[in-house]
Structure 1
């Protein structure tokens, strides 16, 4: 029986090797596709964070440097902040930390934007730190 098994193994060695190579190739391909999809999702979230940060900066500067007083824009600022925080969770813990810091600085300073340029500077600095961190993170993706 052992001789018969050895003979069957030798007869089918090419098929066994082919099956092993196919399984390894399929496993690698699946792993690589998952990694690529994760990177695509991170990139998309990163671009959205930067887009929302730009909208937020436009609101910040409009509120500080014009006489325009519009409560709808304040709501839009909060929407941008909350979207940034939500999207940051999809990118990385470091980006999420920067987004939470931006929200904290925003919470403390948004109401003084039309009276105090220092409030603008604080929020702008936190916003710029977030965008810079996102850019750095995206540049490291492969």
Structure 2
């Protein structure tokens, strides 16, 4: 038994195949673009987060040098201001929760920077904000794909 396909049926099968091929290519291309954007976002956030962790540690070191060592060079408030502003700038690349935490750290630093060297409460308040920010950064890193 032979099945014969007329010219019209051949053309419509060809057209159907072409349409499905185009749809498949479009879906594949769209997924690839989306995946690349997510990967780039994750890489940017990951890099900024690691740098944030480094800068937070350096700020903590400045506070300890100022308070416990009474070292006006290593514990300089100017160094602290540079670190706090850099931390706030880096947070822009991350998530809103991190930005809020760094703004809170900056506000706390602004209130306490003059007394960090002489007042343990001031030093501990800033260190507490550093720890809060560090925790939020680590939580963000754990959510990245």
TM-score, length-scaled by structure 2: 0.88
1:8 equivalent in structure 2? 11
Q: Could you list the structure 1 runs, at least 4 aligned residues long, displaced by more than 3 angstroms after superposition.
A: 4-7
Q: CA contact under 8 A between 2:91 and 2:99: conserved in structure 1?
A: yes
Q: Which runs of 5+ in 1 are unaligned?
A: none
Structural RMSD (CA): 2.0
Residue in structure 2 matched with residue 53 of structure 1 by the alignment = 56
Q: Which has the larger radius of gyration?
A: 2
Tell me how many residue pairs correspond in the alignment. Answer: 140
- Aligned-pair distance for 1:94? 0.9
- Structure with more contact order per residue of length (Cα contacts < 8 Å, sep ≥ 6): 1
Task: State the partner residue of 2:90.
Answer: 87
CA 1:86–1:5 in 2, change beyond 3 Å: closer, same or farther?
farther
| Structure 2 residues without counterparts, runs of 5 or longer | 1-6
Does 1:102 pair with 2:105?
A: yes
User: 1:5/1:77 Cα in 2 relative to 1: closer, same or farther (>3 Å)?
Assistant: farther
Larger helix proportion of the pair: 1
Q: What is the CA-CA distance between 1:137 and the residue it aligns to?
A: 1.1
